[in-house]
Amino acid sequence: MAKDLMFQNEIKEAVRDAYAGISTGAGETVARWLYSDEELAEVPAGAVAWALGVGNPVRYALLQPGEDVLDVGSGGGIDSILAARRVGPQGSVIGLDILEEMCERGRRHATEAGVNGWTQFRRGEMEDIPLPDGSIDVVISNGVMNLSARKSRALAEIYRVLRPGGRVSMADLTVEGELPPEIANDQSAWAG
């Protein structure tokens, strides 16, 4: 455990560098595996091209008009925009991402989608969410928790910002069993 603590900053830097270095998302072909035609029609082409997730958390979040949503690791904003359509202008969506350039993409795509009035993107880390306690109804996240070297801390932060009775809808990758050391210690594997 102490050894893990020593490498947390290195892992965070590797993940941040990896996502700062990419020039596009997984693209429409991958997005079509995760989202229906109807869902893809709700978001601008740029947000589809920048999709980097592994699932479809909005589909299972049962979002209601007026709810306040936090999208942890929002990337180019595809799920934030889908969430914004469901909660409407009586609600709100905050996309949180460690990279300012991802937040800028999210803002651009939300403006193109016409949901920018109630959707904002903030730079910040899931391990230290810059929001008050009990301020969010639903946390969504897509392909992000696996990137954290401090998953317990990130989950505690999600719990802290949720209102009593709040919900989480998260799509992510998990490992069953032990990874071989050459993968567990490979920084590019953490980011990938």
Residues that bind ligand SAM (CB under 6 A): 15, 19, 51-53, 73-76, 78-79, 96-99, 102, 125-127, 142-144, 147-148
Min separation Cβ 54 and ligand SAM, Å: 7
C-alpha to C-alpha distance for 156 and 2, rounded to whole angstroms? 20
Min separation Cβ 177 and ligand SAM, Å: 23
Instruction: State which amino acid sits at residue 47.
Output: A
Kindly tell me which of 15 and 87 has the beta carbon lying closer to ligand SAM. Answer: 15
Kindly tell me which of 40 and 102 has the beta carbon lying closer to ligand SAM. Answer: 102
Tabulate helix, strand, coil % of the chain (nearest 5).
45, 20, 35
Output Rg (C-alpha) for the chain, integer angstroms: 16
Min separation Cβ 9 and ligand SAM, Å: 11
C-alpha to C-alpha distance for 39 and 24, rounded to whole angstroms? 20
Kindly tell me which of 34 and 87 has the beta carbon lying closer to ligand SAM. Answer: 34
CA–chain centroid gap for 154, Å, is 12
Kindly tell me which of 98 and 162 has the beta carbon lying closer to ligand SAM. Answer: 98
Q: What is the DSSP string of 97-120?
A: ES-HHHHHHHHHHHHHHT-GGGEE
Min separation Cβ 156 and ligand SAM, Å: 14
